[in-house]
């Protein structure tokens, strides 16, 4: 189950919450990345020219010029500011002069830039879609002491030239990144050419998919980072909304995953994204934004981090089928039938519990029939029929398989069999009466 990080931290002695909004930057400020050096916390803001349509809190809309630029492009600019003594130095901001390109792209500029300092030089690392035909190309910008761009390094490898986002720069290892988190994939780049020098892939730790967020920093006898994954739901306006879950992740010195925390949200919002993680004087600093518009940094003691990991010791993030079944139920309640079907298929394919196999197979077939009624066939009719018949083989004394077979035959226009199974369904008890609500096709 997901927990709310700021709620967990609010009563901790050393917890601090700081809104990073800089009133002098007249733009929406999102996905801040932080780096601590010489008692200053340097911040890179991704400044955008739009507001998320589901950003509903007016405080997040301060000083934003409009929904989207007049030319219709989504434009990202980057500004650097800093914090001293837990206060944003509002007048200390500077726009980072990322070179512009003439390549046509709906998305312009550097997205989700992450600050890192290697060998006393600052770099800003992120993704651009306006380098090569709207492909997400990973780029690194070397900055001088005034945060001017002095060199642009573009990833030069055809294996990694599609949508390369959220690479995590590793502290103390210049031009080395974690590209994927599970299995962990470490990539080293030539600092002069952008060529990939080496790729090191570790064993997979869980069945869960993760993407990077921020820096990977030294922590005790290994490394620490934050990763995320995304699910989706439909809101009351029929918009598809991404839901971001974040996780703390610990690696050993060889970047094998040691532990992953329980999933968390920062402030219970659906769209939250973290781009900054630092450890300084036994304190953990994490920066993130809410709905792409409200930048925040939180601070808490290093001992509290172990408490967060302890939350997951009894229920490690190595997903058991019970956890996946619960996740499928949540998707089903939200009427996200694709996600629910994916979860249920993993359950009945891997469980030895016959009752759980039956329950997940019933709900899996429910999802397939709802999706099929929308004109989308995830499986052929024969395969779908085999799933429905499998339910009868497990338990022919429940009403769902007969009812669903009547729906199935109706959809393929075999109305005689439809009526036969519909009449049969009346004679049996339904384990899940809500199935009829999802399958109100007739």
The string of pLDDT tens digits covering residues 316-331 is: 433 456 778 888 898 8
Residue that finishes a domain, picked among 271, 288, 310: 310
Q: Tell whether the model's pLDDT for residue 110 goes beyond 60.
A: yes
CATH code of 433's domain: 1.25.40.10
Of 103, 67, 107, the closest CA to residue 293 belongs to: 67
Helix (H, G, I), strand (E, B) or coil at 212: strand
Asked whether residue 101 is domain-assigned, the answer is: yes
Average of pLDDT values for 64-90?
A: 69
Q: Tell whether the model's pLDDT for residue 77 goes beyond 60.
A: yes
Domain count, the chain: 2
Specify the pLDDT at position 233: 66
Identify whether residues 248 and 175 lie together within a single domain: yes
Least confident segment among 95-99, 198-202, 347-351: 347-351
Specify the pLDDT at position 268: 66
Cβ pair 32, 20 in contact under 8 A: yes
Q: What is the percentage of the chain residues whose pLDDT exceeds 90?
A: 36
Q: Tell whether the model's pLDDT for residue 134 goes beyond 70.
A: no
Average of pLDDT values for 194-203?
A: 90
Specify the pLDDT at position 59: 36
Specify the pLDDT at position 288: 94
Average of pLDDT values for 54-79?
A: 52
Average of pLDDT values for 365-388?
A: 87
Identify whether residues 16 and 144 lie together within a single domain: yes
Average of pLDDT values for 209-216?
A: 90
Q: What is the percentage of the chain residues whose pLDDT exceeds 70?
A: 87
Residue 157's alpha-carbon distances to 160, 193, 220, in angstroms, are 6, 10, 34
pLDDT band at 58 (very low <50, low <70, confident <90, very high): very low
Structure tokens at 381: 């009719």
Strands (E), 262-418: 264-265, 272-280, 283-290, 294-301
Identify whether residues 186 and 233 lie together within a single domain: yes
Identify whether residues 335 and 192 lie together within a single domain: no
Q: Tell whether the model's pLDDT for residue 232 goes beyond 80.
A: no
Identify whether residues 284 and 147 lie together within a single domain: yes
Identify whether residues 296 and 342 lie together within a single domain: no
Residue 212's alpha-carbon distances to 226, 274, 275, 360, in angstroms, are 7, 9, 9, 31
Domain range for 353? 321-438
Distance in angstroms between the alpha carbons of the first and the last residue of the chain: 36
Q: Which residue has the higher pLDDT, 290 or 63?
A: 290
Asked whether residue 240 is domain-assigned, the answer is: yes
Identify whether residues 219 and 327 lie together within a single domain: no
Q: Which residue has the higher pLDDT, 11 or 88?
A: 11
Average of pLDDT values for 127-135?
A: 74
**Could you give the CA distance from residue 110 to residue 123 in angstroms, rounded to a whole number?**
13
**Could you give the CA distance from residue 239 to residue 372 in angstroms, rounded to a whole number?**
21
Q: Tell whether the model's pLDDT for residue 161 goes beyond 70.
A: no
Helix axes 415-425, 400-411, angle to 10 degrees: 160
pTM (two decimals)? 0.68
Identify whether residues 54 and 135 lie together within a single domain: yes
Identify whether residues 302 and 344 lie together within a single domain: no
Cβ pair 176, 166 in contact under 8 A: no
**Could you give the CA distance from residue 151 to residue 429 in angstroms, rounded to a whole number?**
70
φ, ψ of residue 61 to 5 degrees: the values are -105, 10
Identify whether residues 302 and 346 lie together within a single domain: no
**Could you give the CA distance from residue 129 to residue 329 in angstroms, rounded to a whole number?**
37
Identify whether residues 301 and 354 lie together within a single domain: no
Structure tokens at 335: 């009427």
Least confident segment among 38-52, 234-248, 276-290, 388-402: 234-248
Q: Tell whether the model's pLDDT for residue 55 goes beyond 60.
A: no
Mean pLDDT of the chain: 83
Asked whether residue 14 is domain-assigned, the answer is: yes
Specify the pLDDT at position 239: 57
Specify the pLDDT at position 240: 64
Dihedral sign computed on CA atoms, order 22, 27, 29, 35: negative
Residue that finishes a domain, picked among 285, 310, 335: 310
The single-letter DSSP state of residue 200 is E
Q: Tell whether the model's pLDDT for residue 346 goes beyond 50.
A: yes
Q: Tell whether the model's pLDDT for residue 236 goes beyond 90.
A: no
Asked whether residue 315 is domain-assigned, the answer is: no
Residue that finishes a domain, picked among 249, 282, 310: 310
Asked whether residue 316 is domain-assigned, the answer is: no
Q: Tell whether the model's pLDDT for residue 412 goes beyond 60.
A: yes
Structure tokens at 252: 């050993």
Identify whether residues 252 and 363 lie together within a single domain: no
Specify the pLDDT at position 51: 55
Asked whether residue 172 is domain-assigned, the answer is: yes
Q: Tell whether the model's pLDDT for residue 228 goes beyond 70.
A: yes
CATH code of 267's domain: 2.115.10.20
CA angle in degrees (0–180, nearest 5) for 285-288-293: 145
Q: Tell whether the model's pLDDT for residue 225 goes beyond 80.
A: yes
**Could you give the CA distance from residue 332 to residue 370 in angstroms, rounded to a whole number?**
11
């Amino acid at each position: 189950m997901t927990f709310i990080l700021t709620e967990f931290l609010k009563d901790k002695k050393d917890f601090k919450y700081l809104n990073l909004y800089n009133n002098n930057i007249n733009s929406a400020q999102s996905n801040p990345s932080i780096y601590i050096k010489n008692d200053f916390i340097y911040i890179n803001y991704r400044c955008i020219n739009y507001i998320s349509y589901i950003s509903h809190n007016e405080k997040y809309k301060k000083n934003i010029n409009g929904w989207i630029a007049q030319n219709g492009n989504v434009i990202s600019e980057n500004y650097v500011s800093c914090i001293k003594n837990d206060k944003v130095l509002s007048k200390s901001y500077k726009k980072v002069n990322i070179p512009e390109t003439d390549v046509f792209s709906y998305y312009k500029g550097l997205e989700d830039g992450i600050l890192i300092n290697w060998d006393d030089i600052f770099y800003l690392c992120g993704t651009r879609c306006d380098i090569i035909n709207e492909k997400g190309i990973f780029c690194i910008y070397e900055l001088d002491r005034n945060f001017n761009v002095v060199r642009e390094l573009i990833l030069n490898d055809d294996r990694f030239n599609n949508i390369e986002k959220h690479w995590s720069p590793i502290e103390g290892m210049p031009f080395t990144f974690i590209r994927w988190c599970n299995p962990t994939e470490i990539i080293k780049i030539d600092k002069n050419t952008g060529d990939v020098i080496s790729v090191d892939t570790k064993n997979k730790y869980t069945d869960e998919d993760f993407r990077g967020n921020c820096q990977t920093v030294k922590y005790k006898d290994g490394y620490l980072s934050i990763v995320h994954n995304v699910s989706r739901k439909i809101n009351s306006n029929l918009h598809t909304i991404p839901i971001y879950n974040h996780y703390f992740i610990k690696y050993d010195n060889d970047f094998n995953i040691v532990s992953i925390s329980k999933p968390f949200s920062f402030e219970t919002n659906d769209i939250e994204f973290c781009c900054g993680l630092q450890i300084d004087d036994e304190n953990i600093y994490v920066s993130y934004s809410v709905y792409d518009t409200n930048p925040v940094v939180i601070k808490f003691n290093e001992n509290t981090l172990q408490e967060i990991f302890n939350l997951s010791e009894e229920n490690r993030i190595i997903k058991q089928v019970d956890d996946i079944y619960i996740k499928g139920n949540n998707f089903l309640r939200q009427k996200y039938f694709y996600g629910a079907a994916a979860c249920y298929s993993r359950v009945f394919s891997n469980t030895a519990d016959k009752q759980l196999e039956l329950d997940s197979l019933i709900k899996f077939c429910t999802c397939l029939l709802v999706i099929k009624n929308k004109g989308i066939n995830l499986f052929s009719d024969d395969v779908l029929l085999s799933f429905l018949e499998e339910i009868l083989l497990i338990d022919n004394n429940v009403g769902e398989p007969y009812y669903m077979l009547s729906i199935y035959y109706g959809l393929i226009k075999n109305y005689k069999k439809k009526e036969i199974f519909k009449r049969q369904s009346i004679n049996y008890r339904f384990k899940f009466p809500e199935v009829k609500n999802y399958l109100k096709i007739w």
